[in-house]
Structure 1
């Protein structure tokens, strides 16, 4: 790797067209970038999903229904979905590193503010703003990886980033549940926000500047519209976007309403016990890294199809009444989902032609719209027909995701 990559540490520069200076495994810059992107995934998902174990508490304290309490999460993911599209466009001019740094810092501060919300409606407003701010991380992080990491190791690096998101999702849920049990929910959110702020500082200190990024000063709506349209007319990519929508929608639906089922009789779990169930995210951390490595070796679509089938099997296992079997089902579902997400997100960078930030933004838009819409819709199924209806709903989405993966594979083969 050229020494110049190591010399620039504080500013983001534009690349010279035609020259590529990739971060390669074994270098100091690669290790710093890996740790920084791990921290960004950790912070984003811990801040975003820290309210999930609190949904039953919100429902009781603010006298709202389960579906209404899920708005504290769905509004964040919904606004984040919209912000991702704008953030990808902004990052073309401002720079990947700058956008991610501002987003991580702002989201951590808003989480701290949530702890002081005096009423339900203001809490929802702050959570919606947090979603807007967080939009600067996911799609931009994927674009940074696709641009800066040696393509031969992109699958493994993307798996590590997704592993960070899994660790953050687990930590936010588990720690919030434990802190809420002993300190109430307000101090719990304050502590999670402080941890997110520390992660943001670490990210800013570690991430190397972009070397292959080509800055586009100003804002040209026609350029961005053409870029998004080009990806939508790519035969394979819309099916990958559909997988993001459907797989994330099914995953969040299970996690949103499993808590309501498990705090009620005959299980009667407390907040600490409920939070500890989210330690199954450890399986997601391993699955995302292993999935990326396997995809590089035996084929990305083969691993993607296997991961989606595994997610469906996990969802079906939660139909049993035995608590150990329910937890096993959540483990299997989590493993399959993160394996699928790791592969699908990596495929976006491989299948997109240019403007990878725009392609990533469309993937993440579908991902979070699925989380927001399907995560809230699942509450209606739970209220009307109970847990069995939730599982049927998720299995239907996963069947469509599996079909989408098959179509995407066929189009990718024709193109090759």
Structure 2
């Protein structure tokens, strides 16, 4: 964009050890917890939601899908807002709105109102993932941006995990409303910490003049790139199958032959810790062995994990879930980095499109595969396997380093 270069170079960024650096790291870590803790607060208690509101499995999963869909469609909009008011104010507005909506959600009088509130939450929450990394790049010294981004991403992982596992025990005690309230309070505390600590931006300069690449041109350029379409398609297919697995496995574990209470079945999300490790490991391996080879290997691992969940053996199911999660996050870590490296025009739009397909696939398949559950877990697992095999074949034929 056309800006005064001297202005953008006058600020080198907060250096490690400074007060501003610590505030940004803690603030964005808290923002990650607030965002993803709230987004997935219903996923661990979907059976409880279904029973209480008298809806089927696929309908209950809409409480997750509507939030992720809201996030997917709002990413570009938040980028537009941030270009006009700055990234820090935009993130704080997003967190403030989502804080209020998160505390209102347990008060929903019925299922339709619950879905509306979850959609609005998603729209608000999109402001953090859309802007956080760009904010870091402007406010942290270049030597420390990678570490700062990793800390923020770890916050999103912790938030997604806590949001899922904290709701189960509370829902077991007092129903889905108490469970979602617990998740909402956790996210509200994290949001307040983030809003308080994230410092005023010093590296952002309001764009002036006509941008070198318009949003429309950046979007079209990336959609015309066959390689990008492969990465976007893989994001939609793998994320869709991954979310569907977690959406409906809880229903299976609460029924025979397992019969686990929601307080226990909701703890399956600790398998996410495998993904926390695999995403960074896969990124390092891709640098030495090539992105395509590592990504395809991770997809194969995902497929193996899904197959392991088929037998009615709890140890096998949980091990398979861990393997699936490890493979999925490895593939996601490679693909998301590949998008940024491949984009020659419209890097911001390339990343936004990846998020759009990623969360769009989560919304669509996370809901749609619930109808496969009418024939039992075999139906869901088979559908997830088909999505993963399609992704594997597509990537094998088209993806190139």
TM-score by structure 2 length?
Answer: 0.88
Q: Does residue 47 in structure 1 map to residue 38 in structure 2?
A: yes
Is 2:241 the counterpart of 1:250? yes
Moved more, 82-91 or 286-295: 286-295
User: Which residue number corresponds to residue 184 of structure 1?
Assistant: 175
Distance 1:233 1:22 in 2: 36
**Cα shift at 1:32:** 4.5
Q: Name 2:78's counterpart in structure 1.
A: 87
Q: Does the Cα contact within 8 Å between 2:13 and 2:139 map onto a contact in 1?
A: yes
Q: Distance in 2 between matches of 1:154 and 1:162?
A: 12
C-alpha contact (below 8 Å) 2:48/2:171 kept by paired residues: no
Change (3 A) 1:252 1:105: same
Kindly indicate whether the alpha-carbon contact (under 8 Å) linking 1:294 and 1:303 is maintained by their aligned counterparts in 2. Answer: yes
Q: Tell me what 2:250 maps to.
A: 259
CA distance in 2, matches of 1:180, 1:187: 6
- Provide Cα deviations, 1:50-106, integer angstroms capped at 9, x if missing partner: 101221112111111111111111111122211122222222223222222221222
**Residue number in structure 1 paired with 2:389:** 399
Q: Which stretch of the first structure deviates more once superposed, 251-260 or 109-118?
A: 109-118
2:188 equivalent among 171, 179, 197 = 197
Deviation at 1:124, TM superposition (A): 1.3
The residue number in structure 2 matching 1:356 is: 347
1:15-414 equivalence runs, <5 A: 16=6, 19=9, 26=16, 28=18, 32-145=23-136, 158-207=149-198, 213=204, 215-216=206-207, 223-296=214-287, 298-353=289-344, 355-383=346-374, 385-406=375-396, 409-410=399-400, 413=401
Unaligned runs of 5+ in 2: none
Aligned counterparts of 1:99 and 1:299: Cα–Cα separation in 2: 37
Aligned alpha-carbon RMSD (Å):
3.0
- Shift in CA distance, 147/361, structure 1 to aligned 2, threshold 3 Å: farther
Partners of 1:239 and 1:407 within 8 A in 2: no
Preserved CA contact (<8 Å) 1:139 1:357: no
Once residues 218 and 172 of structure 1 are traced to their aligned partners in structure 2, the CA distance between those partners, rounded to angstroms, is 42
Unaligned ranges ≥5, structure 1: 1-12
SS in 2 for 1:171: helix
TM-score for the superposition, normalised by structure 1: 0.85
